[in-house]
């Protein structure tokens, strides 16, 4: 085809309106009209592969292809849009990687089915949450011990005898206690922690900065506050609290095991959580 002069499309120098898809394409007429009718028209905003992602994802959202149905193959899409197969491939492969599509060699590309509730709830650092709400965040270390695993406390996923640091910490929002934290740190992985006083940076933040790139498993439950916890958090015994347990791993080694206990009516987990990356597409 007319090889070049298409890169210019990526910039701001767009001319045609949203419906006119491409500008100087040679064969106007039937093909583009079909596209417009099908609602498949490109919008001219951003790179071509992004436009194609949006066009295809938009059609799926609008029910043009139902779950499980087959999409046109790369060659067909490529000639429909008048772009190379690689460009279509990039767009479709990305949608597949994001979970919208399933691709099988020889069989074709299908709208993903059984997209179950893949909703995910972001779990943020409490300091960030408090700060974002415009409140004053403070914390206080209540207790700190060095010991070995199995001596009084047992960290299941860690061999007995491993040196660990235990921390107890209270978190405040505008002076009100909102969360109690009890943490174990693996000293084999982070020996430097013994020299850290935690008078400025909170343990969670310190660990994230020090040992990034980790994975974790969580569990979130509701529990009634014990008398001791209730006293610490300044609520009456039995108040509903959110209990979050998190174990963090780095290269398959446990780094830290932490229990958060938050007062129910002073703290909530929340977030606009998306079935993966639907927002990226601006639909």
Partner DNA sequence: CGACGGTTTATGTACATACATTATCGTCCA
Partner DNA sequence: TGGACGATAATGTATGTACATAAACCGTCG
| Interface contacts to DNA, rule CB under 7 A | 1, 3-4, 6-11, 13, 47-50, 71, 73-75, 82-87, 89-90, 92-93, 96, 103-109
Residue 100 contact, options DNA, a copy of itself, none, Cβ 5-8 Å cut-off depending on partner type: a copy of itself
Residue 143 contact, options a copy of itself, DNA, none, Cβ 5-8 Å cut-off depending on partner type: none
Site track 199-228 with a copy of itself (rule: CB under 8 A), x = hit: -----x---xx--xxxxxxxxxxxxx----
Give the number of other CB atoms < 10 A from CB of residue 7.
9
CA distance 54 to 282: 8
Number of residues that bind a copy of itself (CB under 8 A): 57
Per the structure block, which two tokens stand in for 179? 């969360």
CA distance 275 to 158: 34
CB-based contact 213:184 (threshold 8 Å): no
Question: Does 70 interact with a copy of itself (rule: CB under 8 A)?
Answer: no
CA distance 135 to 150: 39
Per the structure block, which two tokens stand in for 73? 């193959």
Nearest-approach distance from CB 239 to a copy of itself, in angstroms: 7
CA distance 270 to 273: 9
Per the structure block, which two tokens stand in for 30? 């039937």
Which listed residue (1, 38, 67, 231) binds a copy of itself by CB under 8 A?
67
Per the structure block, which two tokens stand in for 208? 């994230």
Which of 73, 108, 101 has its CA nearest to residue 88? 73
Which listed residue (70, 85, 115, 154) binds a copy of itself by CB under 8 A?
115
Nearest-approach distance from CB 75 to a copy of itself, in angstroms: 21
Question: Does 3 interact with a copy of itself (rule: CB under 8 A)?
Answer: no
Nearest-approach distance from CB 238 to a copy of itself, in angstroms: 6
Question: Does 191 interact with a copy of itself (rule: CB under 8 A)?
Answer: no
Q: What is the DSSP letter of 88?
A: H
Nearest-approach distance from CB 272 to a copy of itself, in angstroms: 4
Which of 86, 15, 24, 22 has its CA nearest to residue 49? 86
Nearest-approach distance from CB 144 to DNA, in angstroms: 42
Write b or e for each residue in 93-124: b if 16 or more Cβ atoms lie within 10 A of its Cβ, otherwise e: bbbeebebbebeeeeebbbbeeeeeeeeeeee
Residues at the interface with a copy of itself (CB under 8 A):
60-62, 67, 100, 115-125, 128, 204, 208-209, 212-224, 238-243, 246, 250-251, 262, 264-265, 267-275, 278-279, 283
């Amino acid at each position: 085809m007319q090889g070049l002069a298409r890169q210019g499309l990526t910039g701001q120098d767009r001319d045609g309106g949203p419906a006119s898809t491409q500008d100087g394409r040679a064969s106007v007429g039937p093909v583009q009209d079909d596209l417009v009718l099908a609602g498949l028209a490109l919008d001219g905003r951003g790179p071509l592969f992004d436009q194609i992602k949006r066009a295809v994802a938009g059609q799926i959202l609008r029910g043009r292809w139902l779950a499980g149905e087959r999409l046109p193959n790369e060659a067909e899409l490529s000639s429909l849009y008048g772009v190379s197969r690689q460009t279509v491939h990039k767009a479709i492969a990305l949608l597949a990687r994001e979970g919208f599509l399933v691709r099988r060699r020889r069989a074709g590309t299908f709208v993903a089915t059984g997209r179950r509730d893949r909703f995910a709830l972001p779990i943020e650092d409490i300091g960030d949450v408090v700060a974002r709400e415009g409140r004053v965040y403070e914390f206080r270390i209540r207790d700190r011990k060095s010991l070995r695993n199995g001596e009084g406390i047992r960290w299941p996923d860690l061999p007995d005898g491993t040196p660990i640091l235990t921390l107890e910490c209270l978190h405040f929002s505008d002076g009100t206690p909102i969360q109690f934290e009890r943490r174990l740190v693996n000293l084999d992985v982070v020996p430097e922690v013994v020299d850290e006083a935690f008078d400025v940076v909170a343990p969670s933040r310190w660990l994230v900065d020090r040992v990034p790139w980790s994975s974790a498993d969580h569990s979130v439950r509701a529990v009634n506050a014990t008398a001791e916890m209730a006293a610490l958090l300044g609520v009456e015994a039995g108040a509903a609290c959110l209990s979050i347990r998190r174990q963090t791993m780095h290269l398959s080694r446990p780094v830290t095991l932490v229990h958060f206990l938050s007062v129910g009516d002073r703290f909530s987990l929340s977030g606009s959580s998306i079935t993966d990356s639907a927002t990226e597409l601006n639909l």
